[in-house]
C-alpha cells in the first residue's frame, strides 16, 4: 500500500518495526525521519552509515524510542527507493499547547512518477551531457491522485480513481498533520474558504500563527488547526499544488481532496473556488520571523563555521552535486559508524566524511547560486535556522577553485585545505559571510526544524549543538540530488562513539547477511547509495 501503514505511538514509547526484504535484487533500510536516536544511534536506518543494507530475503527489527512528538514519516534510505512509494506516516502523541476537537491524522502530499525509481536514476545518470532529469507525472494526497489519461494520449490508463476525503464538523477545530514525502516537489497546500493555524513545524511546536497556504519542502511537516466555520452542508476542496517553478514537471500539478461537512451532499462534488495563494509559485518556507519555537533557545555562538557553496557539475563522466568542491559515494559493506566505533578516522575521500570532534556548535552557511531548490535535511538533530537571503554572485560564492585534495588536521578536525585563484590559502571552504550579512532572525529564539528549503540563488544559515555522538548525513532531500552526491557526512564526537558506544551485535548481522548475499550476487549500485 502507498503510503505504508501509519505508525502511532505516545511520546516516550519504544517503537519496534520488523522489516522483511522481499525485493529480489535490492537491499533496503528504513530511516525514521526526524527522530534523534539518542542512545540508539545505530537504528537511524541509513545504509553504509549505521548498518549494512538488509539483504534480499533477510529480516531486521528496528527498535528506537519516540523521543520527539508530532508528525513525521518513514522512508527507505537505500538509493532512491522511496521515490516509488516506499514511505509511510508517523504520529507521536504528546503534550498540546493548543486544544482542538478532532485529529484528522496524516495528510501526505506526494509527487508521483510513472516510471520506477531505477528508470529515473538510469536517465539521470546518462553520460554527461545527456542526463534526463525525471519529471513528476502527477500529485497525490494519501496515495490518491488523478491523471488526465485521454489528454495524455494514454489509452491504456483509466482515470477513475477516488479522491482522498475528509470530514469536517461545523464549529469544531480539526488538526491536520501535513507531510511532504515527495521525491522532489515543494507542495503548496490550501483549503478553499478556510485558514490554517500552524502549531508545529517538523517535530518542533511553535507559537501559533495564521496563514492561508502551507509550503512544505521535501521531508517537511506542518501540523495545522482548521476551524470548520462553514455551514453544516458545505463541501470544499483541499488542494495540493506543486509549482513547476520549484521542480520540473510533466504537468498535472494540482491534486484535490474532498472535505465534506456533516450534512453535505456526498454525491455532489464541491463547487468551492481556490484561495488567492492556491497556485503561488514561491518555493521558500514561511518567513523566519513568523516561526518561534515554544521551547525557547537563543542562537548559540558557533565553535566551527563552514561555508558550503553548492554546484552541479561533471565529475568527468556524469553530472553530480558538489558541496565545497566535494561530492559523495558510499560503501554499503562497511558502515561508517562501525568504523568510528572501532577507532578508525581515516576515510576514503569519496565518502566526504568530516570529523568535527567534540566542538560544541556547528554552523553551516550553505550557498546556492544555482536555479534549483534544495530542501536541506540533517539527521539526529533539530537545527536552528538563523537566516536566509539572496546569493547570486558566483565570484563571491566561488572565490577560487580548490586545487588540492589533501586533508589535514585543522583545529582538531580533519578537513580539506587548498588555495584560491589569488593564491590565498583556505583553511575552510571559502570566505566566511560572503552572502550572509551576519544578521540572525529572532536571535533570542530562532526557528528550529529538521528540513529547511534552500531556495534558488539563495543562502541559508543553519546550526546545531553537537549533543548526539554518531555519524550523520547532512543532505538535500530531493531524491535525485541525494542520489547524485549531495551529501556531507558528519562525524560527531568520535571519542564518545569509540569509547562509550555499545553497538548491538544485531547490527553486525546486517553486514554478515549483506556480505553473504553480495558474494553470491552482483550489487548494482546505480547511484551514490542514498
Summarize as ranges the residues that interact with Cu ion (CB under 5 A).
374, 476, 478, 481
Instruction: Report the largest interatomic distance among the alpha carbons of the chain, rounded to a whole angstrom.
Output: 74
User: What ranges make up the beta strands (E) of 66-212?
Assistant: 70-76, 87-93, 102-112, 138-141, 165-168, 173-179, 187-191, 196-201, 204-211
Cell 491523471 sits at which residue? 147
Smallest gap from Cβ 484 to Cu ion, in A, equals: 9
Give the side-chain half-sphere CA count within 13 A for 66: 21
Between residues 136 and 257, which has the closer beta carbon with respect to Cu ion?
136
Which residues 6+ apart lie within 8 Å of 79 measured at CB? 26, 117, 118, 121, 483, 525, 526, 527, 529, 530
**Radius of gyration of the CA atoms of the chain, in A:** 23
Between residues 347 and 488, which has the closer beta carbon with respect to Cu ion?
488
Cell 521515490 sits at which residue? 83
Smallest gap from Cβ 336 to Cu ion, in A, equals: 22
Task: Quote the CA–CA distance of 116 and 137 in Å, as a whole number.
Answer: 12
Rounded to 5 degrees, what angle do the CA atoms 143, 148, 153 make? 130
Task: Quote the CA–CA distance of 327 and 457 in Å, as a whole number.
Answer: 20
Between residues 198 and 366, which has the closer beta carbon with respect to Cu ion?
366
Cell 552572502 sits at which residue? 435
Q: Which of 290, 280, 414, 409 is nearest to 352 (CA)?
A: 414
Smallest gap from Cβ 217 to Cu ion, in A, equals: 10
Between residues 223 and 367, which has the closer beta carbon with respect to Cu ion?
367
Between residues 307 and 476, which has the closer beta carbon with respect to Cu ion?
476
Smallest gap from Cβ 286 to Cu ion, in A, equals: 20
Smallest gap from Cβ 261 to Cu ion, in A, equals: 40
Cis preceding linkage at 3, omega within 30: yes
DSSP 192: T
Between residues 67 and 245, which has the closer beta carbon with respect to Cu ion?
245
Smallest gap from Cβ 376 to Cu ion, in A, equals: 8
Which residues 6+ apart lie within 8 Å of 100 measured at CB? 173, 174, 175, 225
Between residues 80 and 92, which has the closer beta carbon with respect to Cu ion?
80
Smallest gap from Cβ 482 to Cu ion, in A, equals: 7
Between residues 43 and 283, which has the closer beta carbon with respect to Cu ion?
283
Secondary structure (3-state) at 528 = coil
Contact 78, 109 (CB under 8 A): no
Cell 491534486 sits at which residue? 255
Between residues 299 and 484, which has the closer beta carbon with respect to Cu ion?
484
Smallest gap from Cβ 270 to Cu ion, in A, equals: 35
Smallest gap from Cβ 148 to Cu ion, in A, equals: 29
Integer CA distances (angstroms), 198 to 91, 208, 211, 222, 455, in order: 17, 5, 8, 7, 22
Between residues 244 and 496, which has the closer beta carbon with respect to Cu ion?
244
Got the DSSP string for 239-286?
EEE--TTTS-B-S--EEEEEEEETT--TTS---PPPPTTTT----SPS
Secondary structure (3-state) at 12 = coil
Between residues 318 and 465, which has the closer beta carbon with respect to Cu ion?
318
Smallest gap from Cβ 166 to Cu ion, in A, equals: 31
Smallest gap from Cβ 3 to Cu ion, in A, equals: 22
Amino acid at each position: 500500500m502507498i503510503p505504508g501503514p501509519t505508525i502511532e505511538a505516545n511520546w516516550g514509547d519504544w517503537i519496534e518495526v520488523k522489516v522483511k526484504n522481499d525485493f529480489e535484487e535490492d537491499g533496503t533500510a528504513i530511516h525514521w525521519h526526524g527522530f534523534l536516536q539518542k542512545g540508539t544511534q545505530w537504528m537511524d536506518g541509513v545504509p553504509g552509515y549505521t548498518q549494512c543494507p538488509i539483504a534480499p530475503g533477510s529480516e531486521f527489527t528496528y527498535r528506537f524510542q519516540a523521543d520527539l512528538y508530532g508528525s513525521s514519516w518513514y522512508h527507505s534510505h537505500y538509493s532512491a527507493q522511496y521515490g516509488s512509494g516506499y514511505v509511510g506516516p508517523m504520529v507521536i502523541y504528546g503534550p498540546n499547547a493548543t486544544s482542538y476537537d478532532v485529529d484528522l491524522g496524516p495528510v501526505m502530499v506526494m509527487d508521483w512518477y510513472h516510471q520506477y525509481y531505477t528508470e529515473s536514476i538510469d536517465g539521470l545518470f546518462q553520460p554527461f551531457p545527456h542526463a534526463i532529469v525525471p519529471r513528476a507525472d502527477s500529485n497525490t494526497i494519501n496515495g490518491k491522485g488523478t491523471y488526465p489519461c485521454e489528454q495524455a494520449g494514454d489509452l491504456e490508463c483509466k482515470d477513475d480513481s477516488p479522491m482522498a476525503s475528509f470530514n469536517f464538523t461545523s464549529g469544531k477545530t480539526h488538526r491536520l498533520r501535513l507531510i511532504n514525502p515527495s521525491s522532489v516537489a515543494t507542495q503548496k497546500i490550501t483549503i478553499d474558504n478556510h485558514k490554517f493555524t500552524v502549531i508545529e513545524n517538523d517535530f518542533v511546536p511553535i507559537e501559533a500563527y495564521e496563514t492561508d497556504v502551507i509550503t512544505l519542502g521535501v521531508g517537511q511537516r506542518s501540523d495545522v488547526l482548521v476551524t470548520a466555520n462553514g455551514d453544516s452542508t458545505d463541501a470544499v476542496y483541499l488542494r495540493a499544488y506543486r509549482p513547476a517553478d520549484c521542480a520540473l514537471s510533466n504537468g498535472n500539478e494540482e491534486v484535490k481532496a474532498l472535505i465534506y461537512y456533516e450534512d453535505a451532499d456526498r454525491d455532489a462534488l464541491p463547487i468551492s473556488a481556490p484561495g488567492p495563494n492556491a497556485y503561488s509559485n514561491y518555493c521558500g518556507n514561511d518567513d523566519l520571523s513568523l516561526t518561534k519555537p515554544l521551547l525557547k533557545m537563543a542562537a548559540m555562538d558557533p565553535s566551527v563555521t563552514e561555508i558550503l557553496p553548492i554546484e552541479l557539475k561533471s565529475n568527468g563522466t556524469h553530472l553530480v552535486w558538489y558541496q565545497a568542491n566535494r561530492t559523495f559515494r558510499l560503501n554499503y559493506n562497511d558502515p561508517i559508524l562501525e568504523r568510528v566505533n572501532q577507532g578508525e578516522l581515516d576515510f576514503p575521500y569519496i565518502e566526504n566524511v568530516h570529523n568535527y570532534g567534540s566542538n560544541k556548535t556547528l554552523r553551516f552557511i550553505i550557498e546556492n547560486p544555482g536555479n534549483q531548490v534544495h530542501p536541506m535535511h540533517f539527521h539526529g538533530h533539530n537545527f536552528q535556522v538563523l537566516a536566509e537571503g539572496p546569493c547570486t554572485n558566483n565570484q563571491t560564492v566561488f572565490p577560487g577553485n580548490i586545487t588540492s585534495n589533501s586533508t589535514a588536521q585543522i583545529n582538531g578536525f580533519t578537513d580539506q585545505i587548498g588555495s584560491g585563484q589569488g593564491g590565498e590559502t583556505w583553511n575552510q571552504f571559502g570566505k566566511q559571510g560572503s552572502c550572509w550579512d551576519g544578521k540572525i532572525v529572532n536571535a533570542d529564539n530562532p526557528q528550529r526544524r529538521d528540513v529547511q528549503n534552500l531556495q534558488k540563488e539563495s543562502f541559508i544559515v543553519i546550526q546545531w549543538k553537537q549533543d548526539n555522538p554518531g555519524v550523520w548525513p547532512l543532505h538535500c532531500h530531493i531524491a535525485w540530488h541525494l542520489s547524485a552526491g549531495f551529501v556531507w557526512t558528519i562525524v560527531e564526537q568520535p571519542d564518545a562513539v569509540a569509547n562509550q558506544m555499545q553497538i548491538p551485535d544485531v547490527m553486525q548481522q546486517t553486514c554478515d547477511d549483506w556480505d553473504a548475499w553480495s558474494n553470491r550476487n552482483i550489487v548494482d549500485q546505480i547511484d551514490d547509495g542514498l
